[in-house]
Structure 1
Amino acid sequence: MGSDLECRGCYKQFGSFHARSQHMDAVGHWQCDTCFVQCWDEDALNEHMNDEYHWKDDRIECEGCYSWFDTKAEAKRHMYAENHFRTYFCTSCDKGFETDNNLKQHMNSSIHRGANIACPFCKRGFATATGVTHHLETGSCPNAPSLNRETIYNEIRKRDPNHVITKKLLTYPGPGSSTVEVTNRCWNGFNYECYLCDKEFATLQAVNQHVNSPAHKQKVYHCPGRGCAKEFMSLASLFNHLESESCGAVKFESVQRNVGSFLTGRRTIGFA
């Protein structure tokens, strides 16, 4: 739309509202804000826009085209389908993102950073500290099969006397205290059911993986940021939170620089 003194149908400029209204009444140029409907007078136009919810002030405009939507959900679906997000945009990939955090995650992914953080044991490359830590905490490293969430936590706790990232607990989980084996008795007639949260799984192996995952583990880490009260069950989850920079406690690059010393070093835990 142009100025308030511009005809809504032919975009001719006028010196006053009265002159503009006279022109629009005479030629039927009262045009809808949203669609191409034109009416003979202002009352008819207002009735149309009320009936069709076509007032632009109440609608959401696509960031990439001239489409308008009645709800944010409709606009979001359209922008995802058409890659029309423009506020947060990666020019290298010609791809838009809904939020600043989503764009940051994309820029810090292997697409732009490569896989330059190596596992200290098998040398497999990862894009982020979160990736290599998850690799070790889940026991996926072929050269360090004894490492898992509990063994890594117990080593981190020894080197974190000031509780920079580990919580102060009355009792601490031991290296062998976490393995649980679910039997066929959890079959409910339809699926294998987790006895802790009632979630159902198609196979016994799947429910065993679930109960031994961090899903039901104690939260043993906390964000080191002042004012951030978030707690985490795994070191990978903590790193993922810090890498997002959502609370501003630590910069993404600082997490990447320090991950090696966290996992294999001997010095006191901290972010340099």
Structure 2
Amino acid sequence: MFEHIQHLRTSSLHVSSDTSDSDSSDDDDLYCSSCNKSFVTKVGLNQHLEFSAVHNWCFICSRDFKNANALFNHSKSPVHNAPTHRCPFCTKMCKVPSGTAHHIESGACHHITRHQVTAAVHSMGIVPTISVSRRLEGPYVPPTIVHYSATEQSFNGKAFQCYLCPRSFKSLSSLNTHLNSAAHDDDEFKCPKCKRQFALISGLIQHIESEVCGAARISQVEDFASDLAGRFSRALKL
């Protein structure tokens, strides 16, 4: 197990090629927020992530895990596989089912919106239910879609402040992107096992893919996603 982890950490195939001492990088790219420590070079940061007992770092995904076993399980997951999941509406290939769902929700495919995706999935009547309880009180009624547009008045002297949450952004366009993202959407879906709730179907699928609550095995997730994609494409009637 640990030999495999060591390979992920040190192999030149998995570590960023931008590792020269002479290479420059933004300060944020050379900072470990977990340890509150800055580094002069990318090499120094990578060595810290590799050898520090605090980290169990995947260099492919730039993700930290709570222990070596969690990293090992991650390394065995489909996330490092070649893309094999095709979008039902275009030629886009993704590595995991949640990636396909996110691709469609993002509006990158035929300008489908995440709201259309949510409405289509709710209309399927999936059993066991994955809709949050309030959606079961009568037929599903699509919510009113609100489009936000912040102005220069959002600037607080240092950054552009979101008026719905504490986050702030360097540019007005970034704030408006945030406001019209799923960041403030209501939770629409729930895990049928642990009942954790998610705003988007891609979030639920990603949760099940992680096997964190044992709702399903990876193979079952892929079968479910394949069936969902077929039914979903018919529901959208593209």
Deviations 1:99-129 (A, max 9, x none): 4333333222453x21000111121111101
Distance in 2 (CA, whole Å) between partners of 1:266 and 1:217 is: 21
Equivalent residues in 2 for 1:90-101 (5 A)? 98-101=67-70
Question: Which one of the candidate residues 105, 117, 120 is aligned to 2:85?
Answer: 117
1:118–1:176 Cα change, 3 Å: farther
Aligned runs of 1:149-188 on 2, under 5 Å? 149-160=114-125, 164-169=129-134, 174=142, 177-188=145-156
The residue identity in structure 2 corresponding to 1:106 is S
Q: Are positions 1:211 and 2:179 aligned together?
A: yes
Identical-residue share of aligned pairs (%): 24
Identify the match of residue 131 of structure 1 among 82, 99, 115. 99
Matches of 2:178 and 2:232, distance apart in 1: 32
1:97-108 alignment to 2 at 5 Å?
98-108=67-77
Cα 1:140–1:83 change in 2 (3 A) is: farther
**1:79, CA displacement in angstroms?**
8.0
CA RMSD of aligned residues (A): 3.4
2:46 corresponds to 1:81:
no
Whether 2:212 is the aligned partner of 1:246: answer yes
Deviation of residue 155 (structure 1)?
0.7
Q: Aligned pair count? A: 181
Give distance in 1, aligned partners of 2:223 and 2:168: 40
5+ residue gaps, structure 2, are 7-34, 36-45, 59-64, 234-238
Larger radius of gyration: 1
- Structure 2 distance, partners of 1:244, 1:118, is 20
Q: 1:224 and 1:247 mapped to 2: Cα distance?
A: 10
Give the alignment's TM-score, normalised by structure 2. Answer: 0.65
Match of 1:256 among 193, 200, 222: 222
Query: 1:223 and 1:237 mapped to 2: Cα distance?
Result: 10
